[in-house]
Amino acid sequence: MEEHHKLGLYVSYYLARFDKIAYENLGLGNQLETHELLSINPHTIQNWRDEFDPLFGHRAGWYQRPMTPSRVRVVQALEDLDEPQILEIVKDILFKTYGDSEELEQLMNIVTTDDQKRKNSRYILRAPTGKAAEKFFIDYFSENQKPIEGKLIDCRDLGVGYDFKIEGKNSSCYVEVKGVSQYSGGVLFTGKEWIVAQREGVNYFLCVVSNLNTEPNIVFIQNPADKLNPKKNIYTSIQINWSVSQNQLSEIHD
């Protein structure tokens, strides 16, 4: 399968799953105009979309042959991502912003790689460093009531894009805690954490606890989506996270 055909499957899946919302959010015109951007016969894109449509109830009564392995891999890779996350992938494909990047190679490998060789883990357990950072933040907040005064609510197991919510008298804020074992180092945002950070703006705080092995140091960065410029990474199982370098953290803190 040619490269642009492999990428076309991702676009077709997105259009099938989110239908009218997908075309509206892409803002590229009608269905035919959108399909033409891939340098693939627009009818081919429509046919691929037809294959995915029954999964989402658009053509539930339509008979189709069993889905081929490449289509199944795309479905499995994207099923846990929400619309904004898949939209970013599709835009990168349509506007050819990937170049010859590792992310592009990962996307193509998913379509062709044997399922037995793929990593299918859907959850990332918090590492010991992360847990230690979270505990330090809880103790720090109890003593200092920062970044704002209020009631601390533990949201770590809810999968909502932040670790803690603080309900203040006049407003609430959301805190994502990241731990660094040494005094310096970068951090990773999951795709959901970064989207929530973008959505919540000044109400979202990145809390970086560094030097955990000796004397912990805590720094709060308000509205990290506005102040940081992370690199997007896409993994074989299609988990998206955003990496912020230690240099960026230092520049903001300084």
- Digit-coded pLDDT (tens) for 175-218: 999 988 777 778 888 888 999 999 999 999 999 999 887 889 99
- Residue 71 maps to a domain: yes
Do you find a cis peptide bond into 84, omega within 30 degrees of 0? Answer: no
CA angle 20, 238, 221 (to 5 degrees): 90
**Domain of 215?**
128-253
Report whether 49 contacts 35 (CB < 8 A): no
How many Cβ atoms from other residues are within 10 Å of residue 92's Cβ?
20
- Residue 208 maps to a domain: yes
Q: How far is CA 80 from CA 84, 85, 120, 209, in A?
A: 12, 10, 11, 29
- Residue 123 maps to a domain: no
Q: How many domains does the chain have?
A: 2
Do residues 159 and 76 both lie within one domain?
Answer: no
Of 89, 117, 145, the domain-final residue: 117
Of 69, 88, 117, the domain-final residue: 117
Of 73, 96, 117, the domain-final residue: 117
pLDDT in tens, 2-15: 777 888 899 899 98
Question: Tell me, what DSSP letter sits at residue 185?
Answer: -
Q: What is the mean pLDDT of residues 106-131?
A: 56
Give the residue among 223, 222, 209 at the shortest CA–CA distance from 178.
Answer: 209
- Residue 122 maps to a domain: no
If pLDDT is split at 50, 70 and 90, which confidence band does 99 have? low
b/e burial code for range 179-217 (CB count within 10 A of at least 16 → b): bbbeeebbbebbbbbbbbbeebeebbbbbbbbbbeeebe
Check: pTM over 0.85? Answer yes or no: no
